Amino acid sequence: MEKEYGIIILAAGKSSRLGHPKQSLIYKEETLLSKMVKTAIATNSGAVIVILGSEAELFMKECEDAITVINENWQTGMAGSICCGIDFLLKNFPTIKGTIISVCDQPYVTTELLQQLIDKHTQSNLQIIASDYGGITGTPAFFHHTIFPELMQLTGDKGAKSIIRKDKERVSLVNFPMGKEDIDTDEDYNRLLKNN
């Protein structure tokens, strides 16, 4: 039976604030990207798509068990990577019911969290299930296939937050307090290592 849901991992950026690729930072003896790929695959929900861009060749090995898609226009921002992932799902998995969009620099994402997003959608039948970290809503987030056209209209480096905020009536949340911990600077990374 074909799996019903995809997981798109956004990993195309240059990590300009960090100064070196965050995808290859080591956490608990593996890279952040490798950890996220394994976490997504363990969900066993369906296709796992990794969107690469800047220095893509450096990270292909980290994604051997996933499907890699290259965003040639990664410089235009996160929206382009989201569009690449959705476009790939629509062309290759036309019966897909929805997808989770995640990033590779949230080290506390777990398989259980990803499954909660899917379960919450199944229980509520709402089109968007986002993570909630202390009043902030964001990734990982689930989007039903009826939201795909809106995702495909995104531009720039804003991601999907505008779609999550657009209509609260179609959104439910999963509590993920550690979601606020992402790695954008050396200070963030040093704090992660110190706390573990």
Task: Name which residue leads in pLDDT, 8 or 182.
Answer: 8
Question: In the prediction, which pLDDT does 62 show?
Answer: 83
Residue 176: pLDDT over 70: yes
Check residue 173 and give its pLDDT.
Answer: 96
Can you tell me the distance from the alpha carbon of 37 to that of 62, in angstroms, rounded to the nearest whole number? 8
Q: Please write the tens of the pLDDT for every residue from 76-129.
A: 889 999 999 999 999 999 999 999 999 999 999 999 999 999 999 999 999 999
Contacts of 74 (CB under 8 A, 6+ apart): 12, 13, 14, 53, 54, 80, 81
Task: Provide the pLDDT for residue 187.
Answer: 86
d(C-alpha 173, C-alpha 124), whole Å: 11
Place 17 in a pLDDT band, splitting at 50, 70 and 90. low
Q: Which two tokens stand for residue 170?
A: 């179609």
Task: Please determine, for residue 138, whether its predicted confidence score (pLDDT) is greater than 50.
Answer: yes
pTM of the model: 0.93
Chain length of the chain = 196
- DSSP for the chain, written as a single string: ---SEEEEEEE----TTTSS-GGG-EETTEEHHHHHHHHHHHH-SS-EEEEE-TTGGGTGGGGTTSEEEE-TTGGG-HHHHHHHHHHHHHHH-TT--EEEEEES--TT--HHHHHHHHHHHHHH--SEEEEEETTEEEEEEEEEGGGHHHHHT--TT-TTHHHHHH-GGGEEEEE-GGGG---SSHHHHHHHHHH-
Question: 5-195 belongs to which homologous superfamily?
Answer: Spore Coat Polysaccharide Biosynthesis Protein SpsA; Chain A (3.90.550.10)
Residue 25 burial by CB count (10 A; 0-12/13-18/19+): exposed, middle or buried?
buried
Domain range summary for the chain, segments of one domain joined by +: 5-195
In this structure, the dihedral spanned by the alpha carbons of residues 166, 49, 40 and 78, taken in order and rounded to 10 degrees, is: -40
Q: Which of 25-29, 165-169, 170-174, 184-188 has the lowest mean pLDDT?
A: 184-188
Pick the more confident residue, 196 or 126: 126
pLDDT tens by residue, 20-79: 678 888 888 899 999 999 999 999 989 999 999 888 888 888 888 899 999 998 888 899
Taking the C-alpha atoms of residue 38 and residue 178, their distance in angstroms, rounded to an integer, is 19
157 pLDDT band, cuts 50/70/90, is confident
Using the predicted structure, report yes or no on whether residue 1 has a pLDDT greater than 50: no
Confidence (pLDDT) at 77: 85
Whether pLDDT at 2 is above 60: no
The CA-to-CA distance between both ends of the chain, in Å, stands at 40
Residue 159 has pLDDT above 70, yes or no: yes
